[in-house]
A and B are shown apart, each in its own frame.
Chain A
């Protein structure tokens, strides 16, 4: 363990924000560990994807880890999370295990959705995690509904609803913004702006005043734009919105600038065409949120390079083990195709046993 330095963060810096001052050294290392685990999980999943172990899409979050980890680290008992299809990081950040997440990619019965959802459709309501949604912006009214439910039940909480910079152009999102502001619902929309929706850059897809979040002004809603690179900043600025949601039931739109290193999905055939190699390299080399946090931990004397390498190694091991777990797990049985369609049928209630529910012949 490196020797702790005594210098306090400069006043007014994000590190000095009360929400960050309340972090213990262990908490800070925990944030590092989580980001490292997310990255290793996805790197290992990519290997298995390339090894033909899974079907469909695999949308990687590599490069964006500080956004999910920073924002979700602020959440309490009655705060909820819902996101789009780039959902692995949010799942691990709310505390889902690598095993069930990896097994879901493999389509195994031990997956978090029993192999019925796949990469884009992770869910864990017991951890306030409501997916994992494959239709661009389709989750934005649902996030609003979670906030409605909180307010209706008189619970002090917020719903964090993530979406991409391409999703902001869907009508359902705009309808949600209007309803959120009109009814003062505690939903916080977090635009994870990685600059591209598939191969379309922000400037080719959106008309906007100074930034995408400023559109919220048209709905008389609070908004913010900030960089997602530094966890301190993500936490400090998101906390303001969470507090407003908790105490005033006010919604917000936060636009967090970030960057994805990989293609839109692993199947992105054009990933080297719509942006330059130099651009990608620059973000990898100069704006890696994990490296950035690593420097903070070392500068603050909380951990040494070696301590952090050890964490990376453990994360790698855990991710590889989750691959083994997924490989060894059974596929769902053919009978299970008809499970989890109707609550009433699954629970063998009178309603579930009255009338024919499935029409297979």
Chain B
């Protein structure tokens, strides 16, 4: 029986292993230590690693994120939690102008090996201020990297790569996924003795031949459900490509899949305007136009601030039904 592990515990294992591997790694954020993490992602780590490695901060996102960036310039490897990625706006200047720009403006003399992480998702009834998904905005800045794992296995492997990366990595999780479990082998079951997934490698989560559903983060789960419905009810074989990291981006896996199925839809919980799907749809049509049997479509969260009202919030984000409907429109 393969080992089952929740998304949050997979992340915690990644932290624990990296804390053990590199004495420069520090976890920092609001309530990450003594409270065990607002979402229990860092549970037990303070007990094990103590005050020097697991640090509770005041509610000062600009101050402590900036501090982490400054410490990373000196070789510390901070893993900073934003209780919600939504609070990025408060630390935005530090993230953009310092973490992402300082290497360039110093002519390559400085680098910032920092990870900024936390949940970035809607769908939990917390209203517009707490439901932002800024991956498209973050990925717009050269100098930044952006990762959105859709499951526990990827979350662990990608977090380890993010911590070892020498550039600033924005790591976006999902409170909707924290409690869900996946097969995550323990290290002694793995040939390399650890789970490590390089940034910039997409993953085909389901093979198919009629249409490619491309997605990142929790939308991948939505696509997998949609693919099952398409198969069972419509006899359509959908391939699901999880891009896993937005920047760097694995374009080859996407193009290979679309060249095979000749149809593509990008699905994301992000807003449509200049979303990730816009970039990828552009890339597909400009590269393999002749392979396409239909226009590349996309499905996003409905284009308004995240609504609170629970029944409406549920339909603001892409559902498997919407994906099925859109797929049928081009298959």
Which A residues lie at the B interface, using CB under 8 A? 80, 82, 111-117, 121, 123-126, 130-135, 138, 140-146, 148-150, 152-153, 171-172, 175-176, 178-179, 182, 339-344, 346-347, 349-351, 354-359, 361
Contacts and interface: CB of A to CB of B under 8 A. Distances in A.
Interface of B: 26, 52, 57-58, 60, 62-76, 93-94, 97-98, 102-111, 113, 142-143, 145, 161, 164-167, 198-201, 245, 247-251, 279, 286
B66 A172 contact: yes
Q: Counting chain B CB atoms within 10 Å of each CB, which of A117, A132, A145, A341 scores highest? A: A145
B93 A179 contact: no
Contacts of A131: 102, 105-106
Nearest to A177: B63
Given A116-B106, A175-B60, A343-B103, 20 more contacts: A116-B104, A116-B107, A117-B105, A123-B110, A125-B110, A131-B102, A141-B63, A142-B98, A143-B70, A145-B76, A146-B74, A148-B76, A176-B63, A176-B66, A179-B58, A340-B108, A351-B164, A354-B250, A355-B245, A357-B248
Contacts of B93: 135, 138, 172
B103 A117 contact: no
A134 B249 CA distance: 30
B67 A141 contact: yes
Contacts of A349: 166
B106 A145 contact: no
A144 B106 contact: no
Nearest to B283: A359
Most interface-central of B74, B102, B142 (chain A CB within 10 A): B74
Contact of A141 (B26, B65, B164): B65
Contact of B74 (A153, A339, A361): A153
11 contacts: A116-B105, A116-B107, A132-B106, A135-B93, A138-B94, A141-B94, A145-B68, A149-B71, A343-B167, A354-B200, A355-B199
Contacts of A113: 105-107, 109
A343 B111 contact: yes
Given A149-B76, A350-B198, A351-B165, A340 B107 contact: yes
Contacts of B143: 341-342
A125 B62 contact: no
B249 A150 contact: no
Contact of B161 (A146, A172, A351, A361): A351
Contact of A130 (B58, B110, B165, B248): B110
B248 A112 contact: no
A357 B201 CA distance: 12
Nearest to A358: B142
B198 A354 contact: yes
A142 B70 contact: yes
A354 B57 contact: no
Contacts of B198: 350-351, 354
A149 B58 contact: no
Contact of A123 (B97, B109, B286): B109
B135 to A, nearest CB: 15
Contacts of B106: 113, 116-117, 121, 123, 125, 131-132, 340
A178 B200 contact: no
- Residue among A341, A350, A358 having the largest count of chain B Cβ atoms under 10 Å: A341
A294 to B, nearest CB: 35
Contacts, number: 190
Given A144-B66, A152-B26, A172-B62, A351 B199 contact: yes
A133 B70 CA distance: 12
Residue picked from B57, B67, B68, B245, most chain A C-beta under 10 Å: B67
Contact of B107 (A123, A134, A359): A123
Contacts of B71: 145-146, 148-149, 152
Contacts of B251: 355-356
A50 B328 CA distance: 65
A145 B68 CA distance: 6
B109 A144 contact: no
Closest 7 CB pairs of A and B: A145-B70, A355-B200, A141-B66, A175-B63, A355-B248, A149-B74, A114-B107
A249 B207 CA distance: 58
A111 B279 CA distance: 35
B52 A130 contact: no
Given A125-B110, A356-B248, A182 B58 contact: yes
Contacts of B164: 351
Query: Which of A144, A146, A172, A350 has the most B CB atoms < 10 Å from its CB?
Result: A172
Contacts of B103: 340-343
B76 A355 contact: no
Contacts of A146: 70-71, 73-74
Contacts of A132: 105-106
B201 A354 contact: yes
Given A145-B68, A149-B74, A171 B108 contact: no
A342 B167 contact: yes
Contacts of B142: 341, 357-358
Contacts of B113: 343
A148 B67 contact: yes
A141 B76 CA distance: 15
B48 to A, nearest CB: 18
Contact of A140 (B66, B97, B105, B249): B66
Nearest to A182: B58
Contact of A356 (B72, B73, B249): B249
A141 B70 contact: yes
A145 B102 contact: no
